[in-house]
Amino acid sequence: MCGIAGIISPEHRSVITAMTRALAHRGPDDEGFFDDGVIALGQRRLSIIDLESGRQPIANEDGTLQLVCNGEIYNSPALRRDLEAKGHRFRTRTDVEVILHLYEEHGHRCVSHLRGMFAFALWDARARSLLLARDQIGHNPLFFCDLDDTFLFASEVKSLLASGLAAPAMDLDALAHYVSLRFIPNRYTLFKGIQKLPAATTLRRDSAGRLTFERYWGPDFRAKHNGSEEAVADELDELLRETVSMHLLSDVQVGAFVSGGIDSSLVASLAAISSDQAVPSFSIGVSDDRFNELPYARQVVQRYGMDASERIAEPDLVHMVPKMIWHMDEPSDPFGFGVYLVSQLAAERVKVVVGGDGGDESFAGYDRFAGQRLVDVYCALPEWFRRSVMKRLIGRIPESFGYKSLAQKAAWMNDMSFYSSGERYAQSMAFLRFTAEGKHRLFTSAVRGRLADPDSMAKILIHYDAANVDELVDRMLYTDLMTRMPDHLLPIVDRMSMAHSLENRSPLVDYKVVEFAAAIPGSMKLKGSQLKYLLKKVAARYLPEDLITRQKQGFSFPIGTWMRTELRYLVENLFQQSRFVEQGIFEGGEVQRLWNEHLSGKADHNYRLWILLNLELWHRLYFEGETPDSLSEQIRRMSAGPA
């Protein structure tokens, strides 16, 4: 893994140095540059394959093509053999060089031959054209900015800002989508004028500066496996073993994340089986037993003789948030805590790990998948009864501030019963955050009037109602694959691991695995109320039974409780000095209402408050000149007591 950057400009190409060095954390081992008077390219390298000669930018045989790539091409050995047989000559042993020669054979459609995680830029000097591309699922990031006669791209937004050519300005439409969805959809970023290249997409810039986007891959959920349950499980087992083995391609040792959940445990066990030495494993826990999964992680580690490292996270981890936001270039997420901490732990010993990201999104592992069916049953109650009697009864359930508390689940069930089909699924995404009604209360009327694209639910429905999906569970899975996966889960995994110069590989989001999962009948993924049924069937061949059968816990932290205890003064002080209220973006009364209800125990608003808290810190970092260290010091002062 590494960081890449580039600029096409008649006069500003010298900024490539600052742009590239802003990505030093992504590649601490080396840097390389290219400038031909039209384009300047930069790369920071984390040396994983071909440690001696795999420097970038890399050129083809006659130097007419130049490549910078962030990622790994897992099928590169086979591709290389085929290309050499056709007469192509390689300069290095690095995996990404195959992209240059595939381009010579297939042009921009070279991406369809790649199996891996990648974001690359390929400059064709003869045509004076630039090709940008991201992998099928969107594991590796790529951002761009088009400014008249100047075009910039980079692995992270901070690199574009480091050029001095892209000024930070807030995109209010992106902000409105973020507070509803927990992620920023489509090409949006929180910075006006800076866009992200979507997953499975190429962007071609020709010599006249014209931009052409093309989506080159997408799964079809309609064609289904027609074998028996056991036969499909056998095929999946074989595919997962092959895929995990491919993801171990490296000239340095590869470790494994083991959270105690099924997905990471399965990937780690398959990695251990494929390795001829003890696999280093890395696990994070918390002192609160309601959230701690370390006992289950230890079962896997002991079964496969892994070389284990563990760490306990404490409430003071909020002081890490400024660094997390700086690496994300957007507000952090509670899920990111775990990835950040376990990556920090792993980076002390290895450069590369495999993890279980994406299993829930491909194999139906979230409660909401089964919950949609339960809502249909609940709808047997008359609507008037649900709106009045049930709403009052549910409102009396005391809030425990635990993971998926009874109060939250009951309120979700009742609220979702007033929607159906895709609208219900879209609403469920915003339920714990800000629905359209919640945003109406949060944003001032002046800001609401400035929004050009206010409908966050439309970002979900366009995928839920797609023509290439038939079954209910598949509609939810496809929606997640097109939204949550590339815009939420994978950005967190990428940025929180690269914060520690660690490459995180995710075999369960290999596009061949995703295609196979799409073809599994819905009844084998969600069997009655049994989540992730077929994947669990395969996992049972490798993991302890109680790990398979236990209730899904989730990798999380008791943030709701912490906000009412250790983090109370921090939240209060931040909201009393809210930049978003001062600038007329948020209604101060609504922010205070949410905080008062949470503090009093009337409601658990921790998801909403976390979003608001992070936005305040993000603003201070990117618009007020604070650094992660200076902001951490502010957090310490604000946490000490009332202002």
Catalytically annotated residues:
2
Instruction: Return d(Cα 614, Cα 452) in angstroms, integer.
Output: 24
Instruction: Return d(Cα 594, Cα 184) in angstroms, integer.
Output: 23
Residues 6+ apart with CB under 8 A from 232: 225, 520, 524, 534
Q: What is the DSSP letter of 153?
A: E
Q: Which helix (H) or strand (E) holds 215?
A: strand 211-215
Q: From the CB of residue 483, how many other CB atoms can be counted at a distance below 10 Å?
A: 22
Which amino acid appears at position 631 of this protein? L
Distance from chain centroid for Cα 490: 2
Q: Which helix (H) or strand (E) holds 122?
A: strand 116-124
In the chain the first and final C-alpha atoms are separated, in Å, by: 43
DSSP-based three-state secondary structure for 33: strand
Question: Is-contact 450 172, C-beta < 8 A?
Answer: yes
Residue 443: φ, ψ to 5°? -85, 145
Instruction: Return d(Cα 355, Cα 533) in angstroms, integer.
Output: 20
Strand order in the sheet with 254-257: 307-313, 280-286, 254-257, 352-354, 503-505
Bridge partners for 119 per DSSP: 70, 134
163: Cα within 13 Å, side-chain hemisphere: 30
Residue 213, both tokens? 């986007």
Residue 143: φ, ψ to 5°? -120, 155
Question: Is-contact 609 572, C-beta < 8 A?
Answer: no
Q: Which residue has the tokens 């130049």?
A: 66
Residue 10, preceding peptide bond in cis (omega within 30° of 0): no
Q: How many residues does the chain have?
A: 643
Instruction: Return d(Cα 296, Cα 317) in angstroms, integer.
Output: 23
Instruction: Return d(Cα 184, Cα 220) in angstroms, integer.
Output: 25
Bridge partners for 282 per DSSP: 257, 309
Residue 545, both tokens? 């039974």
Residue 79, both tokens? 């591709």
Q: Which helix (H) or strand (E) holds 565?
A: none
Q: What is the per-residue burial (b if ≥16 Cβ within 10 Å, else e) of 5-23?
A: bbbbbeebbebbeebbebb
DSSP-based three-state secondary structure for 254: strand
Distance from chain centroid for Cα 194: 18
Which amino acid appears at position 80 of this protein? R
Nearest to 92 by CA among 112, 126, 69, 124: 69
Residues 6+ apart with CB under 8 A from 504: 257, 339, 343, 353, 354, 355, 357, 493, 494, 497
CA distances from 501 to 21, 27, 135 (A): 14, 6, 20
